[in-house]
Structure 1
Amino acid sequence: MVVRSEAAPPTPWSKALAEPRIDETAYVHSFSNIIGDVWVGPDVLVAPGTSIRADEGAPFAIGEGTNIQDGVVIHGLEEGRVVGEDQKEYSVWIGEDTCITHMALIHGPCYIGKHCFIGFRSTVFNARVGDDCIVMMHALIQDVEIPQGKYIPSGSVITNQQQADRLPDVQESDRKFAHHVVEINEALRAGYKCAKDANCITQVRKEGKSHQTTSNGNGARVQQQTLSNNGKGENRTNKGGTILKTEAIEQVRHLLRQGYQIGTEHADKRRFSRNSWQNCAPIKDQQERNVIAALEACLVEHAGEYVRLIGIDPRARRRVSEMTIQTPEDQPSQSYSSGNGSSYRPASRQSNPSYASGGVSNGQLDRNVTEQVRSLLNQGYQIGVEHADKRRFSRNSWQNGAPIQSRQVSGAVSELEACLAEYSGEYVRLIGIDPKARRRVLELLIQEPGQNGTTQPASGGGQRTSGQSHQQGQPQAGGEIAEQVRSLVNQGYNIGVEYADQRRFRRNSWQNAGQLKGNANQVLSELNRHLAEHPKDYVRLVGVDPKAKRRVVETLIQQPGQGSNNGVSASTGAASATDQRSSGQRQNGARSNSKLDQNTVQQVRNLLQQGYQIGTEHADKRRFSRNSWQSCSPIESTREGEVLSALEGCLADHQGEYVRLVGIDPKAKRRVLETTIQQPA
């Protein structure tokens, strides 16, 4: 096969004359064009009619097992680079096992992660698409970063980060579809390679006559070798008589259910003392019985040594667990070691009643934490814990605690209390884990040094009452806002503040007031100072993930004439929520003549409780007659009080016009409600 590839032409910005580098296992069709500094990895399929042109922006990298289908164009601008997984700069980076389907346009600077699917005629430009994302047909992704595991429906136009952050998660059926496409194209690649090999074709024809169906001409021999190897492994295992303990088998089962791979390492006493482990033979099987047989074979092969079980996340390429299953005394599975050195003894934790009662000072977990645990378990999530001393906490370097085994609320709470007692004097946080998406859904700090194992959520405004705040005339960030600030700081996020007058607010044109530094108390103090400096402006709190360089939260905390929307201390109680909302509406005199009726308030409450977003539209009589509505300023908050205030603001801004309330399903990206809430007098 003659591949149409050539060096990059000399240009004012580059005279390197770099040439493509194509792995020998890749298949590149002769009707495709590859120009310049392009690296094509192993087992890649490049179909006919593709144009991969690194003559302006360079270099390009196409990861192992990826398929570039017919008509795809890959190009890059001279300026702008992304950082690949090897920490080098690229104009275009495409990860492993990714599908770039027919007629798609990938234009650098652009990063596309592993296990992604880019649909027909979709465009990705100046963007970063995380691992495991699925982009359907005719979509545009530009100037944004798509988080890992997101689904972009057909025809979507994603051009701002707010849209990207609201995308729904990929479902299991979508993953299966993408994986099926990868397998199909891998078979095509092997078939194309075989078609160019006379020996392979001859073998296929022979097997066709013998009614054998194989994909590479030697499948029968491979199957026989595999069966033979399995037989040897079983015999060797049976000779040893070493059986894994129940805890190790449960750990294997738990890892395999989450899609993780299993590995093993061994070390003699000298290497063990230096923490210098050696790899055993890799375990590629995903069947529980075969994995256990391979583990027992490893124990027999390395009798008299330490052996540990490794759980590996194949997508993130990192270890998720380490467990010692054999010691030199040939007592496998009696001593388990987690990645941070803490012992793994779930049986003792569950069976020791002192942990649930006297083991924790002042009794039990805070009721809010217990409710959080119940909510996570009811949704099918798993529970974990992490701990850190003051030095590690300042560096955001957490260590894993012993896993929470129970799936019952009472059992999980008892294990959590045991963990708090075990790590008294340290920070401890609760982790909620989605086992299907393999990602964290919650990180909640439940213990700080000096709390003696009891959780006392800080309010940040517990020493101020609502009445004092209003009497002094100083807006204060307390209650829910203080809790949110502490949560963001504890998770290592940066805190920023933005403000806007009414004109800028309507245009969604915010001004940056800078980043708030320090611990939670210092941030709250700075936040109150900004509220005092901008009493007549809208002010919002911004949480920023410094690693992913994206916003994780935007919360409106002050509106003109109302002060801080959340300037209520935790001591006021939930019973006064309605009174607070009513008083907030009465304080804004400019809007007193446009109060929402009770039906509208109840409608808003129902929409928010179902996870829907709220929007508004307005139209004068002429536009109303033509059903041509205009959008009001977007309502980004999901807090009932803030949404109601924003609705009244829209009514006041558009007096004498029709105004309607819109309920939006952010996952399905469709409207679930349209109801008129104001008509011209």
Structure 2
Amino acid sequence: MVVRSLAAPPTPWSKNLVEPKIESSAFVHPFSNIIGDVTIGANVMVAPGTSIRADEGAPFYIGEGTNIQDGVVINGLEQGRVIGDDGKQYSVWIGKNTSITHMALIHGPAYVGDNCFIGFRSTVFNARIGHGCIVMMHALIQDVEVPAGKFVPSGAVITNQQQADRLPDVEADDREFARYIVGVNDALRAGYLCASDEACITSIRNELTSTSSSDSSNGSSRNISTSSMMTSPYLSQDTIAQVRNLLQQGYKIGTEHVDERKFRTGSWKSCTPITAKRESEVIAELEACMANHAGEYVRMFGIDPKGKRRVMEKIIQRPDGQQIAQPAATKENSFSGSYRSYQPSVATTSATSGQINQDTVAQVRHLIQQGFKIGTEHVDERRFRTGSWQSCTPISASSESQAISELEACMANHAGEYVRMFGIDPKGKRRVMETIIQRPGGNQIAAPSNSHRSSAFSQPQPAPTYNNKSSASSTRLQPEVVEQIRQLIAQGNRVSAEHVDQRRFRTGSWTSCGPVDSTSASAAIAAIESFLSEYEGEYVRLIGIDSNKRRILETIIQRP
């Protein structure tokens, strides 16, 4: 083991450096720099390109089983200390079995607890992160204390304690992922040691050369298999890549099918089980299932052989015969590529159904996770102006996929009409949200969000004027928003608005636009329009407030 403790240039703090204290079982790559009073525990792995500098701020502590990945920088200010788990003062304390991933910056005074995960290029400065927290990619955590067991989404900027306190809890799948990342320590250590051992690396190269020669001797059959896989007439490139990724992670592949009628009730049936492990054979069996059930929906899913659970679901065929592309991952709930070995299962299925957009899917998920029920109503164009909504068939589903199917059934049964979705508080027997998800032209309407995790909304379009006097005319608001304001005022509620710029939108730091005291719908509409003009270039959301000063509606009506 080589510790390059004198690689950094001289600084005012580096004249009398204490030597690092490194356990013999730790692995420190020779292309890393460890400087000053740094204690590294047992079985720690320090990857190449890291810089751990305890010259200005000191001491540092890195607990056993932790991995410090490529390009990580750990530094500290001369002033400021945190209290470690041993009761002593440190500039930087990193606990046990924690993963500090590629290019992250930990700048003291900073405390990172046990069993934490700090994502790519995230920064922790003058902050304390409790045990079991997961911080995703490109996040900033500064001047706050994050409670134990919290989840920080990608791109989040957490700079005040209120933001830190309202972070969501880490879920079970996230903990499993974090444990997996820490568990690669031994494999990475073995790989780095082998790479520096000429005998070890030569034997691997010889084995690869031998395998390559064997493959080329079987040339035609191998090339045909690969070619058919990459140009499959049934499967999209996204699906092929996803199959490959699942197999590489050690998962099995399963398939199910359902006709159009039973699709609405979620009554899926299994296809013939796929026992193959080779990519080309799995692709062939997937294509066979699709061919056998042409004119039906077909979905693929991954199976964790250890936990015997599904790790992914994706619809790969629908009745019109078209493939369904893999939905884009969102910041709040997905890691890309091989960086995360699982994805939310139901979201991908419902989001690719072809009727419900991603914003509505996210809102359904949010409502169900909060314990709310889902309701739907419909109305034709004539009755829309008078607010004479009628209920669709009640949605009794408690799972996201079934709720999405029943929403789609309502939309299909009332094509050419407005359809709106709302959340129901089962305890208070009250509505907690209303949003229109279909209008007569067949277009979906982006759902509002009550969470700072969601960031995709439809751009408001100029709205036509109404003959209904109580609705007033509007040149900036969508007709659905005008109708919402009118209904809120008619029911004795009040309206308000909040705004936020693009940078603060990610952290949910909304600011009030000002009071709307009028009980007249036309005056309230005029006030909301004035806010849109005043905060042009920012997000603006409409707020509905009941007589108990509780929010009953939040919907974004303008974005930059």
Instruction: Confirm or deny a common fold (TM above 0.5).
Output: no
Structure possessing the higher radius of gyration over alpha carbons: 1
Instruction: Classify the TM-score, shorter chain.
Output: 0.3 to 0.5
* Greater RCO (CA < 8 Å, at least 6 residues apart): 2
TM-score, normalization: structure 1? 0.33
TM-score, normalization: structure 2? 0.40
The structure where helix makes up a greater share of residues is: 1
